[in-house]
Each structure stands twice: as structure tokens, then as C-alpha cells.
Structure 1
């Protein structure tokens, strides 16, 4: 049974009609037209559906929309600044050519932002650990790690 749910997504309040058990991913994509988070495995194991919930990377494919009504939700689209400049992590991924097929990019970028929110200068092992929930099959891991390091340096003004 649908109910009215208030969400805070990308800095804006949204009112949606949904069954409280509907996965957040479906509401983001189908009702709010936010296509950064992707449907991947549907089991919270691949990271394609990752969003920031109160600054932490979380999968959204099985997360009931009712469970996030009081949380700040940021999608890939919400990382872009109002003047349309990319977030430093997004810009670094472009500059380092870290995308190949691109399917994992949402999870990688969101996970990298969450990691840099917690640790401003992570080492390689910390980067790998921070990105482990976002699976990439194309083999661009070395460029992804380089991009995260580059974004960390930019955020520190180096």
C-alpha cells in the first residue's frame, strides 16, 4: 500500500508516493529520474546502486525507502556543484580515465567520496578497502586508485 514519504535527496526535499518497502533505488530512478545509481546484482553486493546516506556509502537496491526518510541522501548527480563543476572525485576519474565500461563508476565514485569524507589522505590499502564494495570487472583498478589519490590531493590543495 502506497504512502506519502518525504525524502531529502541532493539537498532538496521530495515528496514521493511509494510502498514503504520499495527499494530506495527504484524511487530514485523511477520517481526522481536520478540515474546515477544503477541496478546491478539486486543483492547489495556489486555497488552499482551506491548512494551516500549521511555521508556514508550504502547500497540502495534492497534498502526500503521508509528507512531513509530522515537521512540526507546524495546520488552521483548530487555531487555536481550548482555551477555544474564536477566534484573533485568525479573530475579526477575523468582526468585519470578511470572508467572503462562505466557500470561500476557510480559505486566507485560514491565510495571514494565517502572514504575521503572520513580520511583525507588514504594510502593504497585504505583506498582498496574503501572501494571493496564496488565491483569492477574491466580492470581499471590502478587508474581508479590513482584517481582517488589525485582527488585527495586536490581536496587538500596540493
Structure 2
């Protein structure tokens, strides 16, 4: 079963300022509004995440090492949000919270879609059953012994 969600780390540019936007489930989003980013996401600095996202937006002006560091930082933040802290996993509904501004900037829904298993075509079933029949026939067939006089 898969869940579609927004990747944490979308950068919002409003009024000349950059803000780190995170999608949280509605219950936890309500408790994060007007709180500091560092108090909620310990070990991560909002400014460095914004800078990392900026590096990925404009790759041509940065070195490969800087891009790798930015990718590592953003993915480690994503892992932190999605894995260790189930509190921040996105449920059916989510709220986009822009830190630094301390406000919710939008809401949305996520849809759970079950994976579809592959179903063999009738011709595949026919070949499978026919193959079993041939193997069974070969196993049951008695060996013909010849007697020499």
C-alpha cells in the first residue's frame, strides 16, 4: 500500500523571504503553528535547509560536492520526518506549515492507493497447466525394457 505525500522541504518565497514549508498531518500541524523550527525539528537548521534547497534549484552555479551535501541534508531531514517520528507522518489530510512565518499556508489531502498485483493472462495459465501435464506424463511413463533372447 502506498501513500502519496509531499516531500518535506518545499521552499516558499513570499514577500522576498524564503520559508521552509513542511507538510504535516492536520493534528500535529495545529500544534506546530507559532513554534520555532528548531524546537520541533531538533538537529536541523531551517536556514541551512533553505540554502540546500536553493542549491538544488540552481545546480549550475554550485560544485558537485555542494550539491551532494545539499542532497544529503535534505534527504536526512526527509528521513527524520518520515521514519523516526511517526508524529509527522502525513495521514489522509495534511497542512502545509511555513516556518519563520509561523503560519499554515495551505491544506490538502493524501490518498492511499493499494498496489495492484499482476494477474497472469489466460494463455499463461494454459501454458502452465500444459507444462505440468507434460511433466506428470513423463514421470508416470513406464520405461520399456527389452529382453534379448
**TM-score with structure 1 setting the length:** 0.23
Higher relative CO (Cα under 8 Å, sequence separation at least 6) belongs to 2
**Higher relative helix content:** 2
Q: Which protein is bigger by CA-based radius of gyration? A: 2
**TM-score with structure 2 setting the length:** 0.23
